[in-house]
Amino acid sequence: MPTKLWMSDRKLRLFQGNSPIVAGTTSPSEMIFGMDYTLHLPTIMVVHALVTLISALVTMYMWWRYRGGRVMPLLVVAGLSGCAAMLLHAARGSLPLNVSSGLGLGLGILAVAFYWQAVVAFEGGRLSLPKAFVGIFVWFALWLTPPFQQSIELRTSVLGLLVAGYCFLTAWEMMRQASREPLPSRSIAALSNVIRGLVWLAPAPLSYTVAPAYAADGSAAPWFAYVVLANSIMIVLSLVSLLMLAKERGELRYRLASERDPLTNLANRRTFVARAHQVLREESPASLLLLDIDHFKSVNDTHGHAAGDQVLLAFSRAIDQRMPKGWLFARIGGEEFACLMPRMSAMQAVAVAENLRIAIADMVMPAKAGLRVTVSIGVSEVSERGMGLDTLLASADTALYQAKADGRNCVRLYEPAALLAETGKSLAIGAAEPRRSVARSRRRSA
């Protein structure tokens, strides 16, 4: 009989690790999650603290190595605060509650808040350290009240709401800049913070419906271990995604630097040529304006190169703000600019060029009184698709040369027939000049 009872007793027991639990005495949280000893909460916290400490030390080295910037010091504060928070709370059984939970969890809230401010600095926003300290101030203020200290459910809920709020603010800050700087990893970075925020919203309902985060004997609820583990994973993902954003931003800036003129921020000659070839393959008709600032060398010689830079900036802004979407405007030389206009006939292009010429002539240079800026413009047209850019540029350059020869501050259209007649007239004058010289010499000898 004792053997049978012992066998029956074994059938009624469920073993989890080395601790048997008699059937019928299992708590609701154990029935839902099971394996409450599979995830050891203090171990998770210590490992998370060590990973956070290593990240903070690496960030500190990068801050010392490269100097300057606002993001690195904020990340260092966030990392050290998070490390201290995890270590203090991992020692919950050994330290007073005011230290392990009051101070420890307060530092955890501060860590999330400083990470939010680091993202604000990364996005070029205005820092607000008082906002970063709001969470920890609320936590400490509530901690001084007896109901807050006596209710583990209330403390867990407030902690989750404060951390989740800062996570959602971080995600919102990242997505707010998406239209201005559409980096590929931006959505991943924002999503990782949204998921982290959702993870920290879970403790409030779980504390009241399943089990408190900690039982009266100090043992942790299984679901709380999963929350802490998920939080650790999301922190790593959010840090990696922030590094990806920094890398993509650097690549974007290098690419823009290779495509843009550093002074005017217009497309440079290389970018203009590449895009113009594509436009000419796909669009017809199209017209090209070649713009050259008159007497620009004398501006540099008389007023200095700083004044010359101001003229280039004012000129480029005056033209660029009149460029509709789809037109390609670029600085292709010192004081030479080009504008390719798809689906624009020669006569329409001449009218546009005349308006631009008037706008530049009316432009006021406040820094240099008496400095007047004018522009000469050559216009050429391609009437059929596939015409080469070199031919179009050469035609516009010929028209520009004609505008310079006609006294500058004017617009000239490239017209092959008129140019041929003008060239013939010049050749005829050149051929008649030697004959007149011979006749004069014969009269002198006679």
Domain ranges of the chain: 1-28, 39-258, 269-414
**Structure tokens belonging to residue 25:** 């005495």
Crossing angle for the helix pair 222-259 and 186-201, nearest 10 degrees?
Answer: 160
Are 108 and 82 spatial neighbours (Cβ–Cβ below 8 Å)? yes
What's the longest Cα–Cα distance across the chain? 160
**Residues near 297 by beta carbon (within 8 Å), at least 6 away in sequence:** none
Q: How many CA atoms lie within 13 A of 138 on its CB side?
A: 17
Q: How far apart are CA 117 and CA 131, in angstroms?
A: 9
pLDDT of residue 4: 38
pLDDT at position 93:
87
Pick from 406, 264, 294, 401: which is nearest to 393 by CA? Answer: 401
**Helix (H, G, I), strand (E, B), or coil: what is residue 37?**
coil
Positive or negative CA dihedral for 230, 233, 239, 240? Answer: negative
CA-CA distance, 143 to 137, in Å (whole number)?
10
User: Do 171 and 196 contact (CB within 8 A), yes or no?
Assistant: no
Tokens of 84: 């201290």
What average pLDDT does the chain have? 84
The answer to whether 273 and 323 have CB atoms below 8 angstroms apart is no
Cβ count near 88 (within 10 Å): 22
97, 108, 146 from 150: Cα distances, Å: 11, 20, 6
- How many angstroms separate the CA atoms of 297 and 251, rounded? 36
Q: Which of 98, 52, 111, 92 is nearest to 213 (CA)?
A: 92
Residue 302 per-residue DSSP state: H
End-to-end alpha carbon distance in the chain: 160
Q: With a cut of 50, which residues of the chain have pLDDT below it?
A: 1-37, 438-439, 441-446
pLDDT score of 418: 56
DSSP state of 323: P
Asked if CATH classification 3.30.70.270 holds for the domain at 269-414, the reply, yes or no, is yes
Q: Name residue, tokens 């043992």.
A: 219
The tokens for 208 are 């009241």
Q: Quick check: 349 and 377 in contact, CB under 8 A? A: no
Number of residues in the chain? 446
Question: Among 47, 38, 46, 36, which Cα is nearest to 94's?
Answer: 46
Give pLDDT, residue 431.
Answer: 53
Per DSSP, the three-state class of 402 is helix
Give the model's pLDDT for residue 116. 96
Question: CA Rg, the chain, in Å?
Answer: 37
